[in-house]
Amino acid sequence: MKEPLITVGILSGKEIEFSFPETFVSSDKIESAGDQKAVYKEGKIYWEGNLYDEISFSPQLSNSAFFELKNVTIGINFHWERKEPQRFKGTLKLIIEEKKLTAINIIPIEDYLTSVISSEMSATASLELLKAHAVISRSWLLNKIEERENEKLRMKNEKLKVRNDKVFQMKTDSAAHSSYPIPHSSFIKWYDHEAHTHFDVCADDHCQRYQGITRTSTSEVTEAVFSTRGEVLMFENHICDARFSKCCGGV
């Protein structure tokens, strides 16, 4: 089975500064390297003299290539909140959200987990703890993706049902020469007020702390992710929502 790619929201702003130490290629085939800046302008992404609805940048040659984002906020709403430059492997995608730009990292799930474990826990923790955390983090993430896909399918089926009901009602009205109105149909859905709609997870404590390759990893972290590759917690044929907290409150 091919390893899934996930989308991680990193930061938002009216302008986003980033750099490519090696050559990256944009989605419209423009090669670029060095310092870059994208700006929100006229409801579009303004970069290198052009306007885009969205744009992505992928490494041209090396799988080990990385990009750097400037002024990434970590510890949002915590007393130690601060900004720092962070480095990421994979693809950089820029989109528009609420009259701002959002930077998204597209990354294979196992590479993502290597960073999560190093960022959430100490990369020097025991191997067994790191393996348990890898399974928990993978389960939580895939549960969110599974829920989202199931919800998309449910909404699609509901829309199809309503459309078919209306067609049936119109045919019935026509056959009976009746003028009674089609019953009003409505959808009711509860949304988590902090749910993300344009990417799978964010990079801060709201979801799982993800700081790319900024934080030093260890061979134990790599082994923990590799040795549990693809393992998740299951219950009744569904991946568990294995959300966790690393703060014990002194207990």
Backbone angles phi, psi at 221, to 5 degrees: -65, -45
Q: Determine, yes or no, domain membership for 213.
A: no
pTM value is 0.79
Q: Determine, yes or no, domain membership for 223.
A: no
Q: What is the pLDDT along the chain (251 residues), one digit of tens a residue?
A: 678 899 999 999 999 999 999 999 999 999 999 999 999 999 999 999 999 999 999 998 777 789 999 989 887 777 778 889 999 999 999 999 989 999 999 999 999 999 998 888 778 889 999 999 999 999 999 998 888 787 778 888 887 777 766 665 665 555 554 443 434 454 444 444 346 788 998 887 778 888 889 877 889 999 999 999 999 999 998 899 988 876 666 66
Q: Determine, yes or no, domain membership for 45.
A: yes
| Range of the structural domain that residue 90 is part of | 5-108
SS3 per residue for the chain = CCCCEEEEEEEEECEEEEEEEEEEEECCCCEEEEEEEEEEECCEEEECCEEECCEEEEECCCCCCEEEEEEEEECCCCCCCEEEEEEEECEEEEEEECCEEEEEEEEEHHHHHHHHHHHHCCCCCCHHHHHHHHHHHHHHHHHHHHHHHHHHHHHHHHHHHHHHHHHHHHHHHHHHCCCCCCCCCCCCCCCCCCCCCCCCEECCCCCCCCCCCCCCCCHHHHHHHHHCCCCCCEECCEECCCCCCCCCCCC
Q: Determine, yes or no, domain membership for 139.
A: no
Q: Determine, yes or no, domain membership for 179.
A: no
Q: Determine, yes or no, domain membership for 66.
A: yes
The domain total for the chain is 1
Q: Determine, yes or no, domain membership for 42.
A: yes
Q: Determine, yes or no, domain membership for 57.
A: yes
- The total number of residues shown for the chain amounts to 251
